[in-house]
Amino acid sequence: MAPFLLLFVALATASPVKRQIYPLDVNGDGLISKDEVLNVMTLHEALVALDRDGDGFIYMAQIIELWGTADMFHQLNTNGDDHLTFTEIENFMTMSDFYDQFDYDGTYSICTTEAYQLNYIYNVIHNNVANDPLDANGDGKISKLEITSHMTYGEVLRALDVNGDRELTVLELTILLGGQTGQFVIDQDNNHDGTVSFQEARSHHMGLREIFQRLDLDDSGYLENGEGAGFYTVWNAIVTSGITDPITG
């Protein structure tokens, strides 16, 4: 068996690392208050944590994963380009304002499940990612935010393209998609040649979030119980090969 397939199998069967799931809930009441957040992070620290590729920009895909809508991206994007600079964000909001984007009912507290993104940011700031490069909060499952903050669809395609021909074979796609590979090829192979070109892979509104949804077999909103194993193989390839691409989703 090829080394990368052995890695795929190992990751699919590995036990998740056990760590505190909600570190921001200091008093253990099941809620994350504004004070609990403001006491442990600044807005700049939060932005640096979200900027996983280190280019100093926050992209629309990340804003959508944070707050479920692109409205704030358009509001903050003063120069009309495809990203937000830290300055654009910091000139408009404080950390208190940032928290308020999650506090939909204005109660100054968020239940722990709703505060998943804030816990993710906290864990990145404090480097609580022991032995797991993708599962930032150690809950044994992977969110869309954790995926889109680490890699782009373009990086994934290039990582899967073992021979560099920009054509993805069934074997190459299986590394990430597993049992979903056949349907993906049917959906994306526009010229019916049995492979999926990079151009075809982007057709029909396909992207990283759509790949995530295909792998989320139980529609839980997370990849768990081996559903996201292929992303670890892809991430390892991205890191070891030095593939880089701005995080645009």
- Helix (H) / strand (E) element for 4: namely helix 3-13
Confidence of residue 49 (pLDDT cuts 50, 70, 90): confident
Asked if residue 49 and residue 8 are part of one domain, the reply reads no
pLDDT tens digits for range 150-174: 889 999 999 999 889 999 999 899 8
Q: Which one of 127, 142, 162 terminates a domain?
A: 127
Q: Are residues 96 and 54 in the same domain?
A: yes
Nearest to 249 by CA among 148, 164, 174, 160: 148
Say whether pLDDT at 30 is over 90: no
Query: Which pLDDT belongs to residue 18?
Result: 34
**pLDDT at res. 244:** 63
Task: Clarify whether residues 86 and 174 are in a common domain.
Answer: no
**How high is the pLDDT of residue 171?**
87
How many structural domains are present in the chain? 2
Q: Which range in 91-95, 175-179, 233-237 is most confidently predicted, on average pLDDT?
A: 91-95
Predicted local distance difference test score (pLDDT) of residue 245: 58
The range of the structural domain enclosing residue 7 comes to 3-13+151-241
Residue 184 falls inside a structural domain: yes
Percent of the chain, pLDDT > 70? Answer: 84
Q: Which of 41-45, 78-82, 134-138, 173-177 has the lowest mean pLDDT?
A: 134-138
Q: Report how far residue 167's alpha carbon sits from residue 172's, in angstroms, rounded to the nearest whole number.
A: 9
pLDDT classification of 182: cutoffs 50, 70, 90: very high
Q: Which pLDDT score is estimated for 3? A: 40
* 168 in Cβ contact with 195 (< 8 Å): yes
Q: Is residue 135 part of a domain?
A: no
According to the per-residue pLDDT averaged within each range, which of 5-19, 42-56, 78-92, 227-241 is highest?
78-92
**Which sign, positive or negative, has the C-alpha torsion 236, 237, 241, 244?**
negative
Cα separation, 100 vs 231, in Å, equals 32
Q: Is residue 142 one of the residues assigned to a domain?
A: no
Among candidate residues 127, 162, 188, the one where a domain is terminated: 127
Q: How far is CA 143 from the centre of its chain?
A: 6
Query: Which residue has 């597993």 as its token pair?
Result: 178
Q: 9: pLDDT confidence band, cut at 50, 70 and 90? A: very low
Do the domain assignments include residue 217? yes
Same domain (yes/no): 37, 108 = yes
Q: What is the CATH number of the domain that holds 54?
A: 1.10.238
Q: Which amino acid is at 14?
A: A
In a domain, residue 171? The reply is yes
Same domain, 38 and 108: yes
163 shares a domain with 118? no
State whether 161 and 204 are in the same domain: yes
Q: 160 with 224, same domain?
A: yes
For the stretch 65-122, pLDDT in tens is 788 788 999 999 999 998 999 999 999 999 999 999 988 888 888 886 667 778 778 8
Mean pLDDT of the chain: 82
Q: Which of 127, 159, 190 is the last residue of a domain?
A: 127
Residue 18 in domain: no
